[in-house]
Amino acid sequence: MRNSRSFVFAGGEQGSWRVTSERAIAGDPLAPAQYLSVIPADEWTASQASEWILRGTRSNERYSTRDEKQSLSAIQPQLARPEATCAALIPIRKLEAWWDLSQDERRRIFEERSSHIAIGSRFLPAIARRLYHCRDLETAEPFDFITWFEFAPSAAATFDELLAALRASLEWSFVEREVEIRLERDYKSRAG
């Protein structure tokens, strides 16, 4: 039985998201894929053809305070809004030095020095975000996190701003691998 918070992201020749661009921001790229499927882990079977798969699990929040959590949840949009036909899949791996930090050190870099939550909030409700964790899965995964974003085509420039702000932060100096895959919803497909 699979964890109901666990998902498989499969890049290949089918899927409900069409890849419009794919580039490595840091470290190695992923193999090129034309489409992406996002499939609950318990519906995915290893026989499904794909160029690559990434696995990730939704989890509890690791850094936000009660106040931040409440402000965020008041303005955070749901995924799968009809107008949000653009998406981005951005898997990230951080340096071991990040994971060796203590919780208070990571929090300080994440928010007090990098404003990760504050930056994200500035782009709400235009940009829906979801985080999946991969570092502690039983399978050895190539990334620590999978970040997922959904937005309307009219918010594409805003999304570029969000990425630029996060990548300019101190937190990002701990990112050793990052791939950016831009996507458009493909209405012809019925899969994943």
Chain residues in the site for its own copies (CB under 8 A): 1-6, 41, 55, 57, 59-66, 68-69, 99-105, 107, 133, 135-141
Q: How far is the CB of 63 from its own copies (least distance, A)?
A: 6
Closer to its own copies by Cβ: residue 22 or 144: 144
* 146 close to 129: Cβ distance less than 8 angstroms: no
Q: How far is the CB of 5 from its own copies (least distance, A)?
A: 8
Closer to its own copies by Cβ: residue 52 or 156: 52
Kind and range of the H or E run holding 56: strand 52-57
Q: How far is the CB of 91 from its own copies (least distance, A)?
A: 16
Region of residue 78 (phi > 0: left; psi between -120 and 50: alpha; otherwise: beta): beta
Q: How far is the CB of 74 from its own copies (least distance, A)?
A: 14
Amino acid occupying residue 57: T
Closer to its own copies by Cβ: residue 21 or 102: 102
**How many Å apart are CA 100 and CA 123, to the nearest integer?**
30
H helices of 52-123, where?
A: 66-75, 96-99, 103-107, 116-122
Write out the two tokens for 188.
Answer: 């012809």
Closer to its own copies by Cβ: residue 75 or 157: 75
**How many Å apart are CA 95 and CA 167, to the nearest integer?**
15
Closer to its own copies by Cβ: residue 7 or 151: 7
Q: How far is the CB of 158 from its own copies (least distance, A)?
A: 27
